[in-house]
Structure 1
Amino acid sequence: MRRGSVEIRRIANNVSRRATFGKRCAGLLKKAHELAVLCDADLGVLVFDAAGRQFHYCSPNASWSELIQRYDSTTSDQFQGGQGMNHDHDQLLSEIARLRQERDHLEAVVRSQTGEDLPSTASVPELGHLEQKLERALGKVREMKDKLLEEQLGESHHRVHILEDQNSFLRHMMSEEGRQRAAVEASAVVAELMAPATLLGGFFPEVEEEEAATSLRLWP
């Protein structure tokens, strides 16, 4: 199944941004290693995070100095030596400054919308508009909270039904076992009661032998 397109933009949450950087940076360095090993390519990857920490990878058959020299030699005509590199470096710095300004502006907008950094010159209509936004956001949060509570309640009811079914099954098994045990005990009692009757209804060898001996003595 094909995934939907994801909008690429800066992550506002600091924790999520750091976690995403760690995962994607590790994946980038892993892909660089696979490209170097599988395709016998000479490459180098250098990454700096927002805190200035450095992450890099260099293919095992090359060094950073060799890669930089090869890069300088292949791009000398295009960038005109050091002047071209300096110009590219200046463009990179200007782009970084622009992105930082955009980040600061977005963070200020978020703080103002959440009421953390309201300007002292805010008018009543502006505050009313902000209040409406917060109420809509609060309504969405409550709606999501109610939905989660309903899902948890439904899951709890499902678990209760499962436990009730298991309890009923165990009770049924215990009652069946009790009936079988009672039947066995009743059979044993009947057998004990039938034993004397069998003796009374049968013959007694000792009595027959005694009668036979008496009849012999009385015979002339």
Structure 2
Amino acid sequence: MGRGKVEMKRIDNKLSRQATFHKRRRGLLKKAQELAVLCDAHLGVLVFSSTGELYDYCSPHTSWSELIQRYKGITNAQLQGTNRDDDQKLLEDIARLKRERDHLVASHRMMTGEDMPCSTTKEELADLEQKLECALGKVREMKDKFLNQQLEESRHKVSILEEKNSLMRHVMNHDEQPRAVVEAELMAPMMLPASAFGSFFPEAEEEGLSTSLQLWPQQLPDVQDPSLQ
């Protein structure tokens, strides 16, 4: 039965991870040695473990310093070539943008009549006049659109204010009792006369608290009982 496919992810178990590292590290260095001997290749392999241990291999017909110098020389040449190409492209883009800018400036000055050449023909002037009229029409159209938009917004605001005024007028016209009367009615339970509770307090009359409704006179008339005579 063949081996199952190993999933390429970090091994969580520390012992299994170390065992797999040492096994595959030996295989990697062995393959590098075979490649150097069989194919006469100049190569170097550097491996650092998770604990910081260094394992390396360098082909027998070269050294690490030579490999590093060759690597730096090749990569620097590639970077310089890339930078040179990028600089050349950047200069070409700058020159193209300058030409476009000069053309736009000349067209603008010609449209405004500031730099009109003497050799301009009648047809060119008529064409320029037509272009200016077309541009003026577009400007007026945008202006009218902007003014109409402002007018619609103003009408909408006026409509909202009219609705608010109408609502307030409706509330005031259908209010059956004035505010003062309503407040007095609300405060009435708090100012009931003492006589409403079946007793009479003359000191309340002395203090001037006689604004409540009186159900009988303050002093009872003298009544003579015939039976007492």
From the two aligned structures, give the one with the greater helix fraction.
Answer: 1
TM-score, normalisation: structure 1: 0.46
**Which structure has the larger Rg?**
2
TM-score, normalisation: structure 2: 0.45
